[in-house]
Amino acid sequence: MRDGLEPLLDGQLAYYRARAPEYDEVYGQRSFSALTGVLDELPVGGDVLELACGTGQWTVRLAGRAARLTAVDGAPEMLDIARRRLRDEGLTATFEQADLFRWRPSRRYDTVFFAFWLSHVPPQRFAGFWSAVADAVRPGGRVVFVDTGTAERVTERVAPGGRDTVLRRLRDGSEHEVVKLFHDTAGLAADLSKLGWTAQVDPTGEGFIRGVATLTGRSATD
Ligand SMILES: C[S@@+](CC[C@H](N)C(=O)[O-])C[C@H]1O[C@@H](n2cnc3c(N)ncnc32)[C@H](O)[C@@H]1O
């Protein structure tokens, strides 16, 4: 798909590649570390695919729940840290590098999970992303996600221009524009319903959201 967003999305990935060594600092903040415990309350199991795994903060927790785990990210620097984290914990997963805006799954899974990824998918790519996810879910399987909610908007510097982007600064002083949507629970569930998903989206933790979606409007084998 060519919609003019490629430079922004390539820049977003470049930002995360550069941020990888300092990414885990955010997990030192209380709200984030408390948040990863929400996974215990979510229906994760079987053959699990994690998208945008980052440094593996969720991957280690998924590994304890999954019969088999595959984790994908576009940033090799993130994958290196995630691989090391799992190895240090004596856990196993298969890691794959892929650009999720070009990715199509090669097989289906019982659970597809992503944390803090959906808010980086621009509205113009929302349907395409969920179509790829639909192809990754086995009939009867589910999608589970965690993300920032509307309350988090105040913590970000919204970029001018109305592109659903924010400005982020790295330790080296460089400034980056990244996509950031602040989904509200009802609106997100309604958007997913239009695409054939039945989704339960709820607030969780301090300003976050959690969702569980199953494909109902279209056969997962279409
Ligand atoms: C906000 S981080 C979330 C990481 C992890 N899920 C977590 O919650 O800690 C977003 C992740 O998306 C990855 N990413 C950004 N653009 C991507 C793309 N186009 N394809 C695949 N991964 C991408 C980044 O490398 C980063 O690891």
Residue with the bigger pLDDT between 162 and 48: it is 48
Kindly report the protein residue whose alpha carbon is nearest to atom 5 of ligand 1: 54
C-beta separation of 21 from 76 below 8 A: no
Kindly report the protein residue whose alpha carbon is nearest to atom 24 of ligand 1: 16
Residue 139, classified by CB atoms within 10 Å of its CB into exposed (0-12), middle (13-18) or buried (19+), is exposed
SS3 135: coil
Report the C-alpha gap between 182 and 118 in whole angstroms: 10
Kindly report the protein residue whose alpha carbon is nearest to atom 15 of ligand 1: 13
The residue count of the chain comes to 222
Residue 115 in contact with ligand 1 by CB distance below 6 A: yes
pLDDT at 132: 98
Write down the CATH number for the domain with range 6-36+43-214.
3.40.50.150
The model's confidence at residue 34, banded by pLDDT at 50, 70 and 90, is: confident
Mean pLDDT to the nearest integer, 165-171: 96
Report the C-alpha gap between 166 and 184 in whole angstroms: 17
Q: Where are the domains of the chain?
A: 6-36+43-214
The model's confidence at residue 152, banded by pLDDT at 50, 70 and 90, is: confident
Residue 58 in contact with ligand 1 by CB distance below 6 A: yes
Report the C-alpha gap between 218 and 197 in whole angstroms: 8
Report the C-alpha gap between 196 and 216 in whole angstroms: 6
Can you give the three-state secondary structure of 52-116, one letter per residue? CCCCCCCHHHHHCCEEEEEEEECCHHHHHHHHHHHHHCCCCCEEEECCCCCCCCCCCEEEEEEEC
- Which residue type sits at 117? W
Mean pLDDT to the nearest integer, 204-218: 89
C-beta separation of 86 from 93 below 8 A: yes
pLDDT at 184: 95
Task: State the distance from the centre of ligand 1 to the C-alpha of 161, rounded, in angstroms.
Answer: 23
Residue found under tokens 């494909």: 215
Kindly report the protein residue whose alpha carbon is nearest to atom 22 of ligand 1: 74
